[in-house]
Structure 1
Amino acid sequence: MTIIYPSAAQIDEAAALLDAGQLVAFPTETVYGLGGDAENPDAIARIYAAKGRPANHPVIVHLAPEADPGYWVRELPADARKLIDAFWPGPLTLILKRADHIPAAVSGGQDSVGVRMPSHPVAQQLLSAFHARRLGTGKQGGVAGPSANRFGHVSPTTAQHVRDEFGSAVHVLDGGAADVGIESTILDLSRGFPALLRPGHVSPQQIADVIGAAPRLPDGSDATAPRASGTLKAHYAPRTPLALLPFALIEPLIAAFDQSGGGKIALVARASSAGEWAHAAHVHFVAAPENPQSYARDLYGLLRALDRANVERILIEKLPETLEWIAVNDRLGRAAAAFEQEE
């Protein structure tokens, strides 16, 4: 399908809104972001209010291709420069010590800041237009941009997903469906060693190949790690109750649901696992993508579709616990945790 990107006039209009302290939802290669001027505390406050986001939960600053990352941080260490050269523009966020002139609000009050440079052409055009408006002012024009959804809910990967969340209250630039489909990898470099805070499309092995050291993986034991976007235990959740289980534990739940005489139950599993349950009258079956990249790209759209499918519960087959699946496992685990807390 041919994607018609926003015109230059539409990009300029959106940049003018950002310049005026208003919010603009924009596409990136990962998910759609809810953007505001990263150097304007009032605009940042509007982001938090629109999302219902806790004020101590930081947002990521998105930079134009021509922007200077060093403007936002106290220093840019050698490993950061290597990773920027290797992965920017792209789905990698770096956490570094925040420069003193950058508002603490963008970091949830912390002394660190997350920065990235998206690769989506519409994001780049918007960021460049906003950056150009700041030339000669002493400011850089970065855009704070968490995912464009209500806090804790499923992230948007299309412009329609954003409209479903906010209606006409937020100006939206349509750039088609996101290619990656889950949020950026977040790597902390603010403490003198690399630590993965949120897995994503850029893998731990790719990071290690560039900087010559494997990042510390998130295991719940890193008590000194800075807070980062999307790292709360419960996150990315649909409205329909969701459970993530080995298929051996899913089967008795499906059988019991059938006997209860209720409505339909959703099953997301490999076709080889589902067997007869894929065709059961009370089961809404979705064949799970076979590789991590396809699963990640389809995940949020699938969860939103299941919210509209009139099912009473979503059962998802647990994925292999290998590094190639770490990002999808992270998102599914946090989605399921939202309902574990309620039980």
Structure 2
Amino acid sequence: MDTIIKKINEEELEPGCLQDAAAILQKKGLVAFPTETVYGLGGDALDTEAAKKIYAAKGRPSDNPLIIHIADVDSLKDIAEEVPEQAYQLADKFWPGPLTMIMPKSNKVPYGTTGGLNTVAIRMPSNKIALQLIRESGVCIAAPSANLSGRPSPTKAEHVIEDLSGKIDMIIDGGAVGIGLESTIVDLTSEVPTILRPGYITKEMLEEVVGTVDIDKTITAKSMDPNLKPKAPGMKYKHYAPKADLTIVEGTEQAVVDKINEFASQKMEQGCLVGVIATDETFSKYKANCVMTLGSRNDNEQIARGLYAILRDFDEQQVDVIYSEGFADTNLGQAIMNRLLKAAGYHVVEV
């Protein structure tokens, strides 16, 4: 398959500029497009065959549900059997934006899209290209991240091209995304809303709107506990992983630097190419083959925006092992650590 690459500036959108992409979606084809979080791989959410194509292109397990992207709140009534009042409250505050809500699905939504579940995950992206694509296509778009399953999510079109060129119909290049981590997922099917995946919209932000919000215990776990089963099926799979083995080192700043340098020295003596994920505050202190900084430790938004790109950069450098500093597990830092832990397979060293 020849994949069409279409470059579009989000700030210079014109009516009809996404007609070709819209036509592909209407014909049950696949289009990768930017959102404010990461690039998504889109297909008609209400068509079983389109959903199958998404799973096949990504190599994604079929019990990992797809998030449906919509462009107006009224669409909720079509794809959700029941829309709780909390959903409207949260939509009024956070949509368009990086929040996904889980509700009972309607009969219009095939089980192929929901991973066999009776619930459906829905969000309204704020990226202008994404919104116009939904509107011009006239379909609700099922869109997981536009990468091969298990790989770091794509924050640039180049990442999508690397993983999916030749496997999908079109890639819309809208430049680098703004947030860099997937949306917060909140389950509204129980009495107390529960966060199933942390993101830019934090627990504290949600509680300001709907009161008490729980967090799935698997999110805060620092190790793979066989007794903890995630409520979201997709969270049981390894995600976001670079090709090299990744280890997170946590502790006081100097202790972390010393331990990572110790590990790096041992691996380099063995002939390994070693990568280190640092911050601006510690970048100059590391002695390894390839040291990259995510930015200042005081700027979680910058760290989130660059995390997946830096993991892919290490793949390009063909490093054998990667060591990363840990980050504060609060607010957006919780989402950063959630992704790092998944990428590292929960391999953490405390010093």
TM-score normalised by length of structure 1 = 0.88
- Determine the structure 1 residue equivalent to 2:207: 208
Write the deviation string for residues 175-233 of structure 1: whole angstroms up to 9, x where unpaired: 111101010000000122200000001111000001122x211213997864255x225
Distance in 1 (CA, whole Å) between partners of 2:327 and 2:229 is 29
Is 1:162–2:171 an aligned residue pair? no
Distance in 1 (CA, whole Å) between partners of 2:20 and 2:74 is 20
- Determine the structure 2 residue equivalent to 1:143: 141
Is 1:326–2:330 an aligned residue pair? no
The answer as to whether partners of 2:101 and 2:187 remain within 8 angstroms in 1 is yes
Q: Which amino acid letter does the alignment assign opposite residue 264 of structure 1?
A: L
Is 1:103–2:103 an aligned residue pair? no
> How far 1:83 moved relative to its partner?
0.2
The answer as to whether partners of 2:216 and 2:230 remain within 8 angstroms in 1 is no
- Determine the structure 1 residue equivalent to 2:232: 227
3-state SS of paired residue (1:334): helix
Distance in 1 (CA, whole Å) between partners of 2:305 and 2:277 is 15
> How far 1:283 moved relative to its partner?
2.7
The answer as to whether partners of 1:106 and 1:144 remain within 8 angstroms in 2 is yes
3-state SS of paired residue (2:121): strand
Is 1:311–2:319 an aligned residue pair? yes
Match of 2:290 among 281, 284, 307: 284
> How far 1:85 moved relative to its partner?
0.3
Match of 1:268 among 262, 266, 277: 277
Which range moved further: 150-159 or 283-292? Answer: 283-292
- Determine the structure 2 residue equivalent to 1:302: 310
3-state SS of paired residue (1:305): helix
> How far 1:316 moved relative to its partner?
0.5
- Determine the structure 2 residue equivalent to 1:33: 40
> How far 1:321 moved relative to its partner?
2.7
3-state SS of paired residue (1:164): helix
Match of 2:260 among 250, 267, 273: 250
The answer as to whether partners of 1:65 and 1:128 remain within 8 angstroms in 2 is no
Distance in 2 (CA, whole Å) between partners of 1:120 and 1:323 is 23
Q: Sequence identity of aligned pairs in percent?
A: 35
> How far 1:11 moved relative to its partner?
0.6
In structure 2, the gaps of 5 or more residues are: 1-6, 219-224, 251-255
- Determine the structure 2 residue equivalent to 1:189: 188
In structure 1, the gaps of 5 or more residues are: 132-140
Match of 1:74 among 69, 76, 81: 81
Distance in 1 (CA, whole Å) between partners of 2:77 and 2:214 is 24
- What root-mean-square deviation, in Å, do the aligned CA atoms of Structure 1 and Structure 2 show? 2.2
> How far 1:249 moved relative to its partner?
3.6
Distance in 2 (CA, whole Å) between partners of 1:34 and 1:333 is 24
Distance in 2 (CA, whole Å) between partners of 1:182 and 1:275 is 27
Write the deviation string for residues 276-328 of structure 1: whole angstroms up to 9, x where unpaired: 42xx3x43111232221111111111111111013221110111233341000
The answer as to whether partners of 1:235 and 1:338 remain within 8 angstroms in 2 is no
Task: Decide whether aligned partners of structure 1 residues 339 and 326 sit closer, same or farther in structure 2, where only a CA change above 3 A counts.
Answer: closer
The answer as to whether partners of 1:30 and 1:183 remain within 8 angstroms in 2 is yes
